[in-house]
Amino acid sequence: MMLKIKRVPTLVSNFQKDEDEIGARGVGCGRNCLRNCCLPGSKLPLYAFKNLSYGKFVADETMEPPVDFLESLLLGEWEDRQQKGLFRYDVTACETKVIPGEYGFIAQLNEGRHLKKRPTEFRVDKVLQPFDGSKFNFTKVGQEELLFQFEASDEDEVQLYPDAPIDAEKSPSVVAINVSPIEYGHVLLIPKVLECLPQRIDRDSFLLALHMAVEAANPYFRLGYNSLGAFATINHLHFQAYYLAVQLPIEKAPTQKMSVTDAGVKISEMLNYPVRGLVFEGGNTLEDLANVVSDCCICLQENNIPYNVLISDSGKRIFLLPQCYAEKQALGEVSPELLDTQVNPAVWEISGHMVLKRKEDYEGATEANAWRLLAEVSLSEVRFQEVTALIFEAIGLSVEENEHAREGSPEDLDVTPPQPMEEIDGL
């Protein structure tokens, strides 16, 4: 089954060339970057979201938001940058299909991504590494790549400021295009961009990502996170997000309830999926959910365990996926056949959106092949239970509670039936 998405011709932006290829343009360093040389006087739209951290969201139908966050703002601005030629290649020209099978893995042929994407510039065996300003980071991007600032509102309502100054002292969180996209509307959420935080999750940054999922209010818009060692390629804190109007295979996997925290967050284990992982739902407030998941991520980071995160269902479901593919690569435990595909299984691949780089792999894509690759990503059953026990200890749940919950009754099994696939028509 072929998926249809909007196609707009795309050129390569001068701002994506190497620094030594670009001459001075008359202002600052000539790149219109986010550093002190170019930042003074810069302005960017500011989307101020209603802060839901301290209570459940109750929709106020009498108040119209100033702009539709997903379609009018995010995707509208993304298409504007596409038409201006700020991408390394035209992702809308990439072939995409749903692979026949029970889960409906999605295959995309993207022959330009591995050739034009930035190479990794740091060690892959350390989840926590200090920020290095000499390496590529998001303060070096052209301001043309930024879409808007994303901050909590000071008022009890959503606000949009079309031309807000960029306050360097407050280090705004920004949304930018991913210049090497893998799907329509592929963007980056960069918390406190000017603080130059390394790629590591903390409570505030994860809560910000959840707010973005809530504002999008669309189950087909997901956010993802890759730690170092789990195929993050830039050591500057960021989340990825894009729009894909099909249910992801990982979202179809059944789950088994394990435990519920004092804050009302339900933790479940994924079943019948090639990558073992945990699923988080609920919570008395959005902040409760964010705190539990971010504390689990912090535990993995501090124990040097690479992981990926998928924020799904408008922020209502979060998948936490410890992985070991890079470790297996280093130990020579991955078959040459899989290595030859050059697929780096990060959050999107693990979720079931397989970005393939060779036409032969795309044409021969099967559910069995996808399953085989992802099975190499997963921790073993024994190791996964060890890591789960470590996580439960970090968030104050005992191993006994964990084991008791996993022996629960059949009604604790949550099976989400596969949904019919839909064709995509960008907007």
CA distance 40 to 2: 47
- Catalytic residue (choose from 186, 238, 353, 404): 238
Per-residue tokens: 189? 């959420």
Pairing of strands 146-152, 174-177: antiparallel
- Tokens representing residue 165 in the block: 């100054």
Query: What pairs with residue 96 in β-bridges?
Result: 108
Residue 322 bridge partners (DSSP): 307
In degrees, to the nearest 5, what angle opens at C-alpha 149 toward C-alphas 143 and 155?
Answer: 160
Q: Is 238 a catalytic residue?
A: yes
- Pair type for strands 159-165 and 146-152: unpaired
DSSP 100-121: SSSS--EEEE-TTHHHHSPPP-
CA 108 to chain centroid: 17
* Token representation of residue 143: 């301001």
Q: Tell me the C-alpha distance between 309 and 187, whole Å.
A: 16
State the DSSP string of 282-343: E-SSHHHHHHHHHHHHHHHHHTT--EEEEEEGGGTEEEEEEB-HHHHHHTT-S-HHHHHTT-
Helix count (H) and strand count (E) of the chain?
Answer: 12, 16
Q: Which residues are catalytic?
A: 238
